[in-house]
Structure 1
């Protein structure tokens, strides 16, 4: 019998990342978790690729990837968590067209196509389907990332309004600055001081909220962009 509590989590390329924390937390709750990663992105970034990562390697800049990905999964997917991203800092005046297009291809277009595939193939219980996307409100000197995340928010809200008849909810989570290894040591204290709780967010903080939204208790939360950042201003 196919497992009816399977989650697909994208963007699980680094053990220190939010995606990995979400996958781990969902497994603790009894989910069968399938993950994706794209080593080509991690190799371009300062942290490099985690050579021991497991999951399905998926280039989400390719519009054919979402359908191929779901074709590879035997179980019916009940929760779709989109933790993947393209994120390369650049500003309004120096962002290239190629970079802008890649950000939208990965962060917006791929997310739409993944959500579409999920909805078209959903066979779970009515009211148990879940979509959770990870978003951000950072845009100054991070233009293509922030703009594409804004588009992702709208895609998520569209899913919440259009997929209710399938029993699927859709929400976005903005975790704020999260300690996944990208914050320079010189800036860590400043990030902590700007948070009322006096610390930086952890991947586990975000994972706990995502797990709640994916679970039965989160079923009445729908169409929300949730800021979960400890009150950072």
Structure 2
């Protein structure tokens, strides 16, 4: 095989809209204080059309509550990042604990964005309803497995089938999953069910990357570390902040910048990786 030529000087000049013409589905993008929202804004700012998945009943049951302005307020913030209040930013609900929901969501998102999906960011997760080893029961394990792991695998499966229907090696195929801190430091002994399911995603990353390489799709997994999404305050918040060399928590846009870059053509040679983006967090 001949060697690839060096990139031209023109190609080295960065496109301010590197995702122009690409379509993205971001799951778990239901609150303006969350990572999913930050990711969607970054993708939109890079030129992508975006479909936002939400499951409002989940947020409503949490201490932080649902987004006051509802899903449309989240979509409006993403359109703002595009600089166009009429831009194509769609949204819709799905309870991903339902085994049929992932494939249905992916098909709905693709149809809403013109029939093709390029970028899948599986950001959703089940919050709460967890505990240490002694608190585990079968229902808790099953709930986290269904939402945090099984639904992601089914989304990836549906995505792969959709890409297989496109012309061979259509560029721009990207999957980014989210793991957590279960493999670092002392692990996550207070969130065993969650850690188990998120660890499964990290373990599957390389196998999925190999499976989808023939479709010109990269698969990577990001550990964002502790991110300030409005779930902690007071002394506990300050204690976690002190564990970062910078003395502050991660903000939603910290992992969002990495995820948006992984979605661009600049990252086409990065696949099968589990990447920590946690500011040197010391457990």
Q: Give yes or no for TM over 0.5.
A: yes
After superposition, give the CA deviation of every residue in 1:17-61 in whole Å (9 maximum; x if it has no partner). Answer: 000000011000000010101112112211111251142100000
Structure 2 partner of 1:163: 212
1:110 to 151, 154, 166: 151
SS at match of 2:271: coil
Mapped partners of 2:139, 2:56: distance in 1: 19
1:48 to 59, 65, 74: 65
Structure 1 partner of 2:180: 136
Mapped partners of 1:223, 1:24: distance in 2: 25
1:34 counterpart = 2:86: no
Structure 2's unaligned 5+ residue stretches are 1-19, 73-90, 183-187
2:98 to 49, 57, 62: 62
The answer to whether the Cα contact below 8 Å between 2:22 and 2:48 also exists between their aligned partners in 1 is yes
Structure 2 partner of 1:178: 227
Mapped partners of 1:82, 1:43: distance in 2: 20
1:120 counterpart = 2:137: no
SS at match of 1:180: coil
After superposition, give the CA deviation of every residue in 1:83-102 in whole Å (9 maximum; x if it has no partner). Answer: 00012231110122112101
Mapped partners of 2:204, 2:93: distance in 1: 24
Mapped partners of 1:18, 1:144: distance in 2: 21
Mapped partners of 1:4, 1:163: distance in 2: 21
Structure 1's unaligned 5+ residue stretches are none
Mapped partners of 2:137, 2:197: distance in 1: 14
- How far is the alpha carbon of 1:165 from its aligned partner? 0.2
1:152 to 193, 197, 201: 201
Structure 2 partner of 1:230: 279
Structure 1 partner of 2:75: none
SS at match of 1:131: strand
TM-score by length of 2: 0.78
After superposition, give the CA deviation of every residue in 1:174-211 in whole Å (9 maximum; x if it has no partner). Answer: 01000110122212222221111221100000100000
SS at match of 1:80: strand
Judging changes above 3 Å, is the alpha-carbon distance between structure 1 residues 108 and 127 closer, same or farther for their aligned structure 2 residues? same
Q: 175-184 vs 121-130, which deviates more?
A: 121-130
1:91 counterpart = 2:91: no
TM-score by length of 1: 0.94
After superposition, give the CA deviation of every residue in 1:102-126 in whole Å (9 maximum; x if it has no partner). Answer: 1000111000000000010013753
Query: Which protein, 1 or 2, shows the higher relative CO under an 8 Å CA cutoff with sep ≥ 6?
Result: 1
